[in-house]
Chains A and B, each alone.
Chain A
Amino acid sequence: MILHAIELTHVGPFRDTVRVGPFARGFTLLEAPNESGKSTAMRAAARALFDRHTTKSEEIKSLQPAGTDLAPRVAVEFETREGRFRIEKTFLLSPRSLLQRWQEGRWQAVAEADAADRRTQELLESTLPGRGATQPEHWGFLGFLWARQGEPTDWPSLDDPTVGQRIRARLAKVEIDPVIEALRQKLAAQADGLLTSTGQAKTGGALRQAEDDLVSIDRELATLRQSRAELDLAHQRFTRGQDAVQTLEREAADHEKTARALGEQALAVERLRGELDTRRLEFAAAREALSAVVNALETVESRTRELAAARLAHGEAAGTMQTQEAQLVRVRGEIDAQLLARPAQEGRVTNLRAHRQRLQDLLKLRELHQQTIDLQRQHATVEKTAEEVTRMEAALARLPTLTPARLRALEELAEALRTLEAQTLALGLTADLFPDSPRRVTVNDAGEPLANPLPEGKATRIQRPQVLDLQLEGWGRIVVRSGAREAQTVSADLAATRARFQQALREAEVASLEDARAAVAQRKELDLQVRAVRTALTKDLGSHTSAAALLDAIARSHRRAESLASQLQPTPEETARGRTELESAEAQAAEALPAAERTLQVTDAALQQLRQAERGQSDAVQQATRTAADLSTRLRTLESQVADLHARFPEGLAAAKAREQQRFAEAEARQLAATAKLPPDHERLPERNRRATAALQQVQNALQASRTERDSASGKLESLGGLGLYSQESLLEERRAEAVMRRDALRGQAWTARLAHDLIEHRKQAATRSVLAPLEERLTEAFADLTGVRSRRVFLRDDLQIQGIGGTRDTTHGFDVLSQGAKEQLLLCLRLAVARELAASEPQVLILDDVLVNTDAGRQRRVLDVLADQAAHLQIVLLTCHAERYRGLGETLRLGSA
Chain B
Amino acid sequence: MFRFIHSADWQLGARFSQFGARASQLREARLTTLRRALDLARQQAVDAFLIAGDLFEDNQVDNALVTAVIDLFRERPDVPVYLLPGNHDPASGPDSIWERPAFRNAPSHVRVLTTAQALDLGGGVHLLAAPLHQKLSTLDPSLKLRDLAASLPSGTLKIGLTHGALAIEGKHQPNDFPIALDAASRAGLDYLAIGHWHSWISETDGGRIVMPGTPEPDRFDHERCGQVALVELAGPGVPAKVVALPVATLTWESLSFDFLSADASRSSLEHAFNALRERAATCVVRVTLKGNATPQGRRETLAWLEGALAPFFVSQRIDRTALALSAPELADLQHRHPLLAQVLNDIDRMEVLATGSGSVSLPPLGEGTGVAAVAPPTAPLSLAEAQRLLDHSRTDLASLKTEDFVLLRQVLLQTLQEVAP
By a beta-carbon cutoff of 8 Å, the part of chain A in contact with chain B is 177, 179-180, 182-183, 186-187, 190-191, 195, 198-200, 228, 231, 234-235, 238-239, 242, 713-715, 717-718, 720-731, 733-738, 741, 748-756, 758-760, 762-764, 766-767, 770-771
Contact = CB atoms under 8 A, between A and B. Distances in A.
A228 B60 CA distance: 9
B392 A767 contact: no
B393 A754 contact: yes
Contacts of A752: 404, 407-408, 410-412
Contacts of A717: 93-95
Contacts of B376: 767, 770-771
Contact of A200 (B336, B340, B346, B394): B394
B419 interface: yes
Contacts of A186: 415, 418-419
A770 B337 contact: no
Contacts of B92: 235
Interface string B392-411: 11110000000010011011
B111 interface: no
Looking at B57, B62, B410, which has the most chain A CB atoms within 10 Å of its CB?
Answer: B62
Given A721-B95, A756-B415, A766-B378, A734 B59 contact: no
Contact of A191 (B23, B343, B347, B393): B393
B57 A718 contact: no
A755 B337 contact: no
Given A179-B420, A180-B337, A763 B342 contact: yes
Given A728-B62, A760-B343, A734 B16 contact: yes
A182 B389 contact: no
Contacts of B60: 228, 231, 721, 723-727
Contact of B95 (A190, A234, A731, A735): A234
Interface of B: 13-21, 23-24, 57-65, 92-97, 99-101, 336-337, 339-340, 342-343, 346-347, 375-376, 378-379, 381, 385, 389-395, 404, 407-408, 410-412, 415-416, 418-420
Top-4 shortest CB links A-B: A724-B62, A721-B95, A199-B394, A726-B60
Contacts of B15: 729-730, 733-734
A762 B57 CA distance: 55
B340 A180 contact: yes
A179 B416 contact: yes
A750 B393 CA distance: 8
B62 A721 contact: no
Contacts of A718: 94-95, 99
B23 A755 contact: no
Contact of A239 (B21, B63, B93, B415): B93
A762 B23 contact: no
Contacts of B19: 734
Contact of A763 (B16, B343, B419): B343
A737 B343 contact: no
B13 A727 contact: yes
A231 B404 CA distance: 42
Contacts, number: 177
Given A238-B94, A756-B412, 10 more contacts: A186-B419, A195-B393, A198-B394, A239-B93, A721-B59, A721-B95, A727-B60, A730-B23, A752-B411, A763-B343
Contact of B392 (A187, A713, A727, A758): A758
Nearest to B377: A770
A755 B95 contact: no
A182 B421 CA distance: 12
8 contacts: A183-B420, A228-B60, A234-B95, A721-B95, A726-B57, A727-B62, A729-B15, A756-B343
Contact of B339 (A199, A748, A750, A764): A764
A654 B60 CA distance: 102
B421 to A, nearest CB: 11
Contacts of A198: 392, 394
Contacts of B394: 198-200, 751
A209 to B, nearest CB: 17
Looking at A234, A718, A734, A754, which has the most chain B CB atoms within 10 Å of its CB?
Answer: A734
Contact of A759 (B65, B100, B336, B343): B343
B393 A751 contact: yes
A748 B414 CA distance: 14
Contacts of B379: 766
Contacts of A727: 13, 60-62, 65
Nearest to A173: B376
B392 A754 contact: yes
Contacts of B419: 179, 182-183, 186
A199 B100 contact: no
A374 B79 CA distance: 144
B339 A721 contact: no
Given A759-B347, A763-B343, A724 B21 contact: no
B31 to A, nearest CB: 13
A790 to B, nearest CB: 28
A873 to B, nearest CB: 26
Given A186-B415, A734-B15, A755-B393, A179 B336 contact: yes
A190 B410 CA distance: 14
A368 B276 CA distance: 148
Contacts of A751: 390, 393-395
Contacts of A735: 20-21
A222 to B, nearest CB: 17
B298 to A, nearest CB: 15
A767 B339 contact: yes
A456 B176 CA distance: 166
Contacts of B339: 177, 180, 760, 763-764, 767
Given A183-B340, A718-B94, A763-B343, A726 B389 contact: no
Looking at A183, A735, A741, which has the most chain B CB atoms within 10 Å of its CB?
Answer: A183
B389 A755 contact: yes
Contacts of B95: 231, 234-235, 238, 717-718, 720-721
Given A180-B337, A199-B394, A734-B23, A759 B346 contact: yes
A191 B393 CA distance: 9
Contacts of B20: 734-735, 737-738, 741
